[in-house]
Amino acid sequence: MDVRSRNHVTVTGRSGAPVVMLAHGFGCDQNMWRLVVPALEREFTVVLFDHVGAGRSDLSAWSQERYATLDGYVDDVLEICNELTLGPVIFVGHSVSAMLGVLAAAREPEAFAGLVLLAPSPCFVDDPATGYRGGFSAADIDELLESLEANYLGWSGAMAPVIMGNPERPELGEELTNSFCRTDPDIARIFARVTFLSDNRADLARVRVPTLVAQCSSDAIAPPEVGAFVHAQIPGSRLVTLNATGHCPQLAAPQETAAAIATFVGTAR
């Protein structure tokens, strides 16, 4: 299958410029980057794509066997990089896609000029034995997944505004709700389990490319302690706390998000 069609790959911006590859999170698609792209494409080549099962990807390419773990999505990222032959990319991964970037860069570091981990979480579940705080107890995650599996559309309407934050701007929560609701419920259920049950803490130390950890000042899904943990575990990484609140700064604060990415690309070259 053609990789570009499978993942609805689009390339925009300046030809021959540094390449920025934008990867969306759970329940979203590349449209979530639309407010950031205009600022980035003035300076960089920008690569956008949809994870299989999301947006305008080829749904026939999705299988539970391939996408039952993050590895299937990592394979896709690396196949896109190899197909485009644009050279090493700056991979910007939002939420669960931040860990896709970590795993991909650990596997094929030569494909990446750097990573931007936007609102990352290597493990959503608290680990009292080690003192790690992911933001959710194991019981919280079990309840979240049970609610999602029982009534995905109802779960989307309740959870999307919490994930988005910014209650004074309800249109943002509505947009995320609509994005969730466009996702096939059966695919969403599998991807939710992959997202919320994965534990990639041990993989962070394997990253050897320049990395920016960009966390939000207030985030119900990835609290500041998580960003600090990621920063501490990735050798030589940088940490920036955005003024943006909520879990989707590319929508809530696109100019600040684009500026953080552009600044990092300038120093990572």
Known catalytic residues?
A: 95, 219, 247
Q: Which residue has the tokens 């539970």?
A: 64
Determine if residue 55 is left, alpha or beta; phi over 0 gives left, psi from -120 to 50 gives alpha, anything else beta. Answer: left
Closest-CA residue to 50 (of 62, 64, 68) = 62
Question: What does the alpha-carbon distance between residue 228 and residue 230 come to, in Å, rounded to a whole number?
Answer: 6
Residue with tokens 């009292």: 128
Q: What Cα–Cα distance (Å) separates residue 77 from each residue in 12, 73, 137, 157, 250?
A: 18, 6, 30, 30, 20
The values of phi and psi at residue 9, to 5°, are -75, 130
Task: State the Cα–Cα distance between residues 139 and 51, nearest whole angstrom.
Answer: 28
